[in-house]
Structure 1
Amino acid sequence: MLQLLYLPVLTSLLLFYFRLAVQFKIIDKPNQRSSHSRITIRGGGIIFPIAILLQALFSGFQYPLFTSGLLLISVVSFYDDLRPLSNKIRLFVHLLSGCLLFMQAGLMAYPVWVIIPVYILVIGTINAYNFMDGINGITGAYSLITILSLYFINETQFVFVFSEWLIIVAISLLVFNFFNFRKKAKCFAGDVGSVSMAFIVIFFLLLLILKSQDLKYIGLLLFYGLDTVSTIIFRLIRKENIFEAHRSHFYQYLANIKGWPHLMVATLYMVVQLMVNILILYSDWNAVTFLVFIMVSGFIFIGLRFAVEGRSNLMGRELVDGQISK
């Protein structure tokens, strides 16, 4: 019953933020890289770290290091929403927050050769989540499917986290989606929303993987991963700077070039990931089988991109007699 009270509380808090955002002009104006055409409130995803903070207060700070890391990375991300921030400062805060997350999850007890690759994967996932937040509904819908899948695992297979934490995140996503999962969104998540949600999802996934000792649960973020990794590969082939802002993701092609409605694209990503999650939840794969599944999924996705986007768009150059020509 206490969890149900979070719904009106979080809704009221987000509405209050809207008023502040309008007063202080925390808004997003369309530019040549935007997938929208109207001025919209930025930073609506601030409701995610607020929800976690409320849960921490009412739970007696069950995960103090995780909560501290989340608040730290959220504050810096929100500042980045307001004005440009040095990449060095952003990276330092991400590394520090990741360290707190690892300490909370117990990963620091593992050998350094395990910690370092996971560190790189975590930082990459946070940035990928941020890059994928480019159209209405996609972050909220995709994250809700992930959180609900984690809740299902926690309730039916084995416990890896206090369920109340997953419930409060799901409620915050429902509130956010009410204002964002629209043809004309009231607000965008902003860096504070996409980065904080990535941090939250990573923490729960890390707890699940460490508890189960099963890497297959990485697949709960498979569709985002396929889009991000394939986009990086194609940008490298085109000799583009992968750290510069762009509109090269598959979801951006569908929304901006093909003209698909944002909510249709967001729903597509949500439904495909849900199907993958169901397959993962009811599979009994070993490490080799899961690796094969990832590789097959990657080949299918890249083939799909070639079929939909075309070779010239993805490669940027033509092959002549086996040689690459500009």
Structure 2
Amino acid sequence: MKKKLLLAAPIITTSSIYLLSRLLYSYAFKRSDIVPEPGKDIIGYAEDYYYYLDWLESQPNREHWQLKSKTNHHKLNAIWLPAKNPSKFTVIISHGYKGNNITMANQAHMFHHMGFNVLMPDSRGHGDSCDNYISFGWLDHYDLLAWINMVLHRIGPKSQIYVLGVSMGGANVLMLAGEKLPTQVKGIIADCGYSSLNEEFEYLAHKQTKLPVKPILKIMSSINKIKNGFSFDVVNSVKQLKKSTLPIFIIHGAKDEYVPTYMAYKNYNAIPGKKKIWIVPNAGHTMAFCIDPREYHKQVADFIKSTMN
């Protein structure tokens, strides 16, 4: 009887890990149409946050763009806000995890006042874009290529395009940097992007639980291969950055507890070409703009000027 119990124990443990892995996958990857309220870090800046949302909502000339993804032909949506005066400069802004395009209203406001056209896509599994699962930037970075082509069709071959992403969007644009891009793409700005999906999940899991992380991630990766068509191993900003030829600006909070600052340095060190890094003192995750919007504006503007050769 004792032998039977001993033999059953590992089976129960394995089953429990598998069940837990499925639950965690569902929690992390299934789309959510409820945008979380601003976190505790942003409470002191809530008035500014809603000011930017109201500003974006009030823009009379904004348009809704749509395209179909190449991988599954799902509909993807974006907001297009043309510059006040005709401009060859455009920024494409990628939002964070379980956010949507309007949560990037502060960045849109900044670039609009710099004279840029602004394109704000909803990533897969977010906002008005389809797909039942979130791809954490991997499939999204291919979608950014399609959005870039739409901008070129609208503005023309003299376009000057920059791409900015925050958090998951930061990883999205860093992975885009490793692709063969049109010459009109002049630079990439990544705010709080992670170095790889495996590393990010391991960091959060070790921080929040004492469960066996690696077996759980391996099972989750296998589930994702079925649901999304890729394993976690490919979602790697560092590997993509090593192939990049673009100027890249890394922004990161010195007190980021969700994407640790060491990942910013890993990303930065992987960039072979022109690069800049700004570690923002006292800033938590995605808080650099909130803490000092003027300095944020200046840093971004200086980077863009440095690429206009």
Q: Give me the TM-score of the superposition, normalised by structure 2.
A: 0.27
Higher fraction of helix: 1
**Higher-RCO chain (CA-CA 8 Å, sequence separation at least 6):** 1
Q: Give me the TM-score of the superposition, normalised by structure 1.
A: 0.26
